[in-house]
């Protein structure tokens, strides 16, 4: 679990929790099935306001009926990071024609997806 500094308006700084949490509560049904109450939280810091850091909260709550020994896959927990940068040599990069040789740039697009596999077993 991560703690992010949250700066309050009255001068008091506090810490808020931001984490990726999976909570599963199983219930055994009489016919060999398992009822799962699943809750997934994906909290991240919101840095859009430079004065204070808030928390972006994404949450899913669901119930699954799974046979003993079967496997369930939960997906859709995605994070897409897009970044670009430009580098140049001061002064020389502004010279016409040869200035392009003293400039450079990079772009990146990264998509991360978290898959959760749940395989309940009755013992």
Indicate whether this model's pTM tops 0.75: no
DSSP at 1: -
Q: Is the distance from CB of 24 to CB of 35 less than 8 angstroms?
A: no
Q: Which residues contact 32 (CB under 8 A, 6 or more apart)?
A: 67, 68, 122
Tens digits of residue pLDDT in 47-96: 777 666 677 777 888 899 999 889 998 887 777 888 899 999 988 888 88
């Amino acid at each position: 679990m991560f703690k992010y500094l949250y700066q309050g308006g009255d001068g008091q700084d506090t810490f808020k929790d931001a984490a990726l949490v999976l909570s599963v509560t199983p219930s055994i049904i009489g016919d060999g099935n398992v009822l799962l109450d699943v809750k997934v939280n994906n909290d991240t810091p919101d840095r859009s306001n430079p004065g204070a850091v808030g928390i972006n909260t994404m949450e899913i709550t669901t119930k699954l009926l799974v046979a003993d020994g079967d496997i369930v896959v939960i997906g859709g927990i995605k994070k897409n990071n897009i970044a670009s940068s430009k580098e140049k040599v001061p002064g020389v990069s502004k010279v016409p024609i040869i200035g392009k040789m003293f400039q450079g740039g990079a772009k990146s697009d990264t998509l991360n997806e978290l898959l959760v596999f749940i395989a309940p077993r009755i013992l």
